[in-house]
Amino acid sequence: MKRLFPILAVLTAIFLAYALHLALGKATPTDAQQGDVYRIIYYHVPSAWTAFLLFSINFVASITYLIRRKPKADMVALVSAEVGVVFCTIVLVTGPIWARPVWGIWWAPGDIRLTSTLVLWLIYLSYLVLRRFSTSAQTQMLAAALAVFGALDVPLVYFSIWFFRTQHPQPVIGGGGSMDPRMLHVLLINWLAFLCFAFLVCWSRYRLELLHREVEEAHAMKSLQSRAPAKTSLPLNRSPQ
């Protein structure tokens, strides 16, 4: 497995470079209305889809943990939430950068799509803060419950542009939006490259979590060993009262 990771990392880097070449290359048509700035879509939309996927994985893992109490499910939930927040951050940063030249504003206050995405990011950020700073024995349970409620925001974000009037354009797939097939092809290639990258990042984060739990276990063992002499210092042959 240790040999496989660098090979996959190199292949993913090549794939990302190819996807970037397609996204910025002249072979991909330029949008008639927006010009070249529309190419932000090749990073903005795949990042959003990847974040949604990771939050969905977090939802399934959290439900699994609540039902079966499996530590692996808890670890998968933590990893997917953390990497999901990174991708959601990219969505929230690239969105306003795209909005400024197209809409003339950085942010549309009160817009349901933008606001629900920001709320989604805040929910999972609170999840990570809870995981990081809570010292309660119930932290994993509380975090899993928060994740289940947080996941309710994912369909709200996605379908908000179908049911509400919003500044945000319609979805490129299945929402009535029209897209040149060549653009759609490049978009899907970029998403696939982002998925490969997200998989490797999740893998690294999972290994980090394993190492973290190993260190915690070692600390616990050490503190148990340091307490042991104090207990044995009592007279062993003392008869019960």
Partner 1 sequence: MNALKFLFAAYIATWVIHAFYLGTLVRRFGRLHRQLQELGKEK
Report the interface residues with partner 1, using CB under 8 A.
Answer: 20, 24, 34-37, 39-40, 43-44, 47, 86, 89-90, 93-94, 97-98, 100-101, 197, 201, 204-205, 208, 211-212, 214-215, 218-219, 222
Residue closer to partner 1, measured from CB, 97 or 173? 97
Residue closer to partner 1, measured from CB, 19 or 143? 19
The span from the CA of 158 to the CA of 174, in Å, is 11
CB 78 within 8 A of CB 65: no
**104 dihedral zone (left: phi>0; alpha: psi -120 to 50; beta):** left
How far apart are CB 90 and partner 1 at their closest, in Å? 5
How far apart are CB 163 and partner 1 at their closest, in Å? 28
Question: Torsion angle of alpha carbons 78, 88, 161, 60, nearest 10°?
Answer: -10
Residue closer to partner 1, measured from CB, 34 or 115? 34
Sequence-ordered list of residues with C-beta below 8 angstroms from that of 158, at least 6 positions apart, any chain = 52, 171
Residue closer to partner 1, measured from CB, 44 or 113? 44
How far apart are CB 15 and partner 1 at their closest, in Å? 15
The DSSP call for residue 63 is: H
